[in-house]
Amino acid sequence: MLTYVIVSVGSGVLFGILDGVINGNPLARRLNEVYKPIARTELNLPAGIALDLAYGFAMAGIFLLIWQSLPGATGILKGLCFGLLAWFFRVVMSTASQWMMFRIPAATLLYGLATGLAEMLAFGVLYGLTLRPLA
Q: How confident is the model at residue 85 (pLDDT cuts 50, 70, 90)?
A: very high
> What amino acid occupies position 129?
L
Q: Is residue 82 part of a domain?
A: yes
pTM metric for this prediction: 0.90
Q: Give one DSSP letter per residue of 34-100, joined into a string.
A: GGTTTS-SS--HHHHHHHHHHHHHHHHHHHHHHGGGS--SSHHHHHHHHHHHHIIIIIIHHHHHHHH
Q: Residue 119 — φ and ψ, nearest 5°?
A: -65, -50
Give residue 66's domain range: 2-130
H or E, element range at 134: none
- In angstroms, the CA 42 to CA 60 distance is 29
Overall domain count for the chain: 1
H or E, element range at 24: helix 2-24
Q: Is residue 135 part of a domain?
A: no
- In angstroms, the CA 67 to CA 11 distance is 17
* 135 has pLDDT over 80: no
- In angstroms, the CA 48 to CA 55 distance is 10
Closest CA to 83 of 107, 116, 58: 116
pLDDT (tens digit per residue) in 21-53: 999 899 999 999 999 999 888 888 899 999 999
Q: Is residue 51 part of a domain?
A: yes
pLDDT (tens digit per residue) in 108-129: 999 999 999 999 999 999 999 9
DSSP class of residue 25 equals S
